[in-house]
């Protein structure tokens, strides 16, 4: 049973700084977070601009439940600057690569895999689909069950594997985030052609009946994202020439 909480971040990147920002998050921040906060990097991806906002990075962090997250937030907000004193240099460096973003907290479906389980199962993708689904008030839990019962077996025939199924916290239980790993660009094209041809209408109609809006965009792994390398990034992954904090 997955009882973690996830921090989902949509990051607006400055200019051509996406590669540097992704390295800063995985090689510089993630080892610190693992050691000091028991925070695991679930994934860092670049949004494929042809399908969504650009330049953008999507970060997903795995926390040890609400109490674990509360402990980290309590530590971080205990100073007038609302920043951990030890991380001031890290924040300053990150500001060179990003100009803002939007965060949300995600609660996983009980059956949604942890990053350790995904790595142990060898789940990875050449490309990923990120879905944002709005549903009626209070319907997020039942929609995630529909994902398990209908979407997972249907999309498996196209090679898609579930990475995560979540409902957004601090809302009226009316939004879900679902992420899929797609094995290849050709598999993505096959899936899109099947959708256009009506071959997935049974699933599409079920999704539409249970939701009020739906949006999908594509993402690609950062070089040190856990689903790319099969483990958590460490300090030894830092590349010569990058800032070492």
pLDDT digits (tens, 9 = 90+) for 4-60: 999 999 999 988 889 999 999 999 889 988 988 889 999 999 999 999 999 999 999
**Out of 3.40.50.300, 3.30.70.100, 3.40.50.1820, 1.10.150.120, which CATH number does the structure's domain 115-221 have?**
3.30.70.100
Q: Is the pLDDT of residue 63 over 80?
A: yes
Residue 241, pLDDT above cutoff 80:
no
Q: Report the chain's mean pLDDT, rounded to a whole number.
A: 92
What pTM does this model have? Answer: 0.93
Question: Which residue is listed with tokens 């695991």?
Answer: 40
Backbone angles phi, psi at 164, to 5 degrees: -165, 145
Q: What is the spatial distance between Cα 224 and Cα 227, in angstroms, rounded to a whole number?
A: 8
Closest CA relative to residue 208, chosen from 218, 192, 195, 193: 195
Mean pLDDT, residues 218-236 taken together = 97
What is the tens place of the pLDDT at every residue in 124-171?
999 999 999 999 999 999 999 999 999 999 999 999 999 999 999 999
Fold of 5-107: Alpha-Beta Plaits (3.30.70)
Residue 77 — very low, low, confident or very high, per pLDDT cuts 50/70/90?
A: confident
Q: What is the spatial distance between Cα 113 and Cα 58, in angstroms, rounded to a whole number?
A: 18
| Nearest in space to 147 (alpha carbons), one of 210, 61, 195, 216 | 210
Q: Closest by alpha carbon to 185, among 230, 125, 119? A: 125
Q: How far is CA 59 from CA 21, 69, 176, 190, 209, in A?
A: 11, 16, 16, 27, 30
Tens digit of each residue's pLDDT (9 = 90 or more) over 80-98: 655 666 666 666 677 778 7
Average pLDDT (110-120) is: 98
Confidence at residue 89, expressed as pLDDT on a 0 to 100 scale: 66
- What is the spatial distance between Cα 7 and Cα 55, in angstroms, rounded to a whole number? 20
Q: Dig out the tokens for 162 from the structure.
A: 């579930």
The encoded tokens of residue 161 equal 């594997």
* 173-219 residue pLDDT tens: 999 999 999 999 999 999 999 999 999 999 999 999 999 999 999 99
pLDDT, position 1: 94
Cis ω before 55 (30° cut-off from 0): yes
Q: Specify the domain boundaries for CATH 3.30.70.100 within the chain.
A: 5-107, 115-221
């Amino acid at each position: 049973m997955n009882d973690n909480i996830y921090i989902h971040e949509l990051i607006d990147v400055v200019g051509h700084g996406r590669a540097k920002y992704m390295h800063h998050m995985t090689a510089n921040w993630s080892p610190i977070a693992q050691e000091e906060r028991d925070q695991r990097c679930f994934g860092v991806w670049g949004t494929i601009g042809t399908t969504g906002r650009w330049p953008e990075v999507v970060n997903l962090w795995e926390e040890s439940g609400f109490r674990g997250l509360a402990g980290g937030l309590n530590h971080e907000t205990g100073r007038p600057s609302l920043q951990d004193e030890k991380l001031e240099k890290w924040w300053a460096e990150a500001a060179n690569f990003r100009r803002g973003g939007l965060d949300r907290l995600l609660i996983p479906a009980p059956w949604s895999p942890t990053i350790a389980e995904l790595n142990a199962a060898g789940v990875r993708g050449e490309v990923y689909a990120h879905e944002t689904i709005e549903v009626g008030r209070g319907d997020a839990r039942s929609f995630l069950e529909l994902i398990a019962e209908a979407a997972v077996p249907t999309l498996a025939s196209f090679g898609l594997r579930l990475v995560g199924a979540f409902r957004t916290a601090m809302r009226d239980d009316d939004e879900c985030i679902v992420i899929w790993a797609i094995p290849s660009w050709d598999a993505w094209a096959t899936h899109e052609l099947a959708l256009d041809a009506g071959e997935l209408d049974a699933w599409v109609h079920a999704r539409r009946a249970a939701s009020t809006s739906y949006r999908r965009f594509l993402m690609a792994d950062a070089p040190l994202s856990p689903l790319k390398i099969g483990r958590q990034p460490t300090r030894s992954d830092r590349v010569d020439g990058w800032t070492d904090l």
